[in-house]
């Protein structure tokens, strides 16, 4: 397993992170029921393979199945302190507009942990007004730092699907340790190497740890392939993960996994350093 330091946090984390959305959301990216005995058995087996393979970063949120994902991880990781010789790193989130302490206390109960390593504002798109409120005295950022000071979380961050002014304001505010963005082969807005420009570069320049979600495009790339080439049977999943891992500005690529074989495939990708590509060369227009 390849490891890196998560921005300025000092935490050593696996380049592949275990994404928790697939553990809690019913029928997310395929038929799935978190309460089905067979599906639950596969989930626990997948987490066991991940731990054995050295994945130490585990991402979840109360919004993933009304706490179902947190409960699964809480049960699967109970008593586990490390993976691959590195301390376990557990990250969860708090929805925007919800009381930070109340949400975190419920998450800690479901996870069965006295604290989390990272607590993030669970964001989609932040408006200018929401960003003002987050950064204002008594706002969400201040409340995140309050629970951090109490030791309920070690680090704080935010997640976003955007690459707009609000994202840059939050990055530049100095109030956050990490940012989690949507970045993959199809959605490359956080990083344009030809400029260069993007929130991944901005986060790196301000010392934030960087996490990417939708690493394999959440099925969008696969649906596109089915539309334009229905007979194609090649599995591009590994190549999609390699694309994200090839970006030097990405600390952790989160991948949703609930099948042991999928975990094994992603572990092989993480070990295949020769499979990384030169993104600058990829974007060359004149060769």
Give me the pLDDT at residue 277, please: 92
Query: Where exactly are the structural domains of the chain?
Result: 3-272
Give me the pLDDT at residue 24, please: 73
Mean pLDDT, 10 residues at a time, the chain of 287 residues = 95 95 77 80 92 96 90 92 94 94 96 96 91 95 96 97 93 97 93 89 96 91 89 86 96 93 93 92 82
Give me the pLDDT at residue 173, please: 96
- State the pairing for strand pair 12-14/3-5: antiparallel
Give me the pLDDT at residue 66, please: 84
- The Cα 40–Cα 159 span in angstroms is 27
Q: Which two tokens stand for residue 105?
A: 């206390």
Give me the pLDDT at residue 124, please: 82
Q: What CATH number is given for 3-272 in this structure?
A: 3.20.20.100
Tell me the whole-structure pTM to 2 decimals: 0.92
């Amino acid at each position: 397993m390849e490891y890196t330091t998560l921005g300025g946090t000092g935490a050593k984390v696996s380049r592949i992170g275990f994404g928790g959305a697939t553990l809690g959301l019913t029928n997310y990216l395929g038929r799935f029921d978190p309460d089905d005995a067979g599906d639950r058995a596969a989930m626990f087996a997948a987490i066991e393979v991940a731990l054995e393979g050295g994945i130490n970063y585990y991402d979840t949120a109360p919004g993933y199945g009304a706490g179902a994902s947190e409960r699964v991880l809480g049960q699967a990781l109970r008593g586990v302190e490390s993976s691959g010789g590195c301390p376990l790193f557990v990250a969860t989130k708090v929805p925007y507009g919800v009381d930070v302490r109340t949400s975190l206390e419920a998450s800690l109960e479901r996870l069965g942990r006295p604290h989390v390593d990272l607590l993030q504002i669970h964001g989609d798109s932040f408006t200018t007004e929401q960003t003002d409120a987050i950064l204002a005295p008594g706002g969400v950022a201040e409340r995140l730092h309050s629970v951090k000071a109490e030791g309920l979380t070690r680090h704080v961050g935010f997640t976003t699907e955007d690459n707009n002014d609000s994202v840059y304001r939050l990055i530049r505010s100095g109030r956050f340790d990490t940012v989690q963005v949507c970045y993959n082969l199809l959605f490359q807005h956080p990083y344009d190497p030809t400029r260069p420009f993007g929130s991944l570069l901005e986060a790196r320049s301000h010392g934030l740890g960087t996490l990417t979600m939708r690493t394999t495009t959440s099925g969008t790339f696969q649906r596109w392939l089915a539309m334009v080439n229905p007979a194609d049977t090649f599995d591009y999943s590994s190549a999609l993960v390699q694309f994200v891992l090839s970006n030097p500005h990405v600390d952790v690529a989160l991948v949703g996994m609930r099948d042991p074989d999928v975990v094994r495939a992603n572990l092989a990708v993480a070990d295949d350093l020769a499979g990384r590509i030169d993104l600058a060369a990829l974007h060359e227009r004149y060769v």
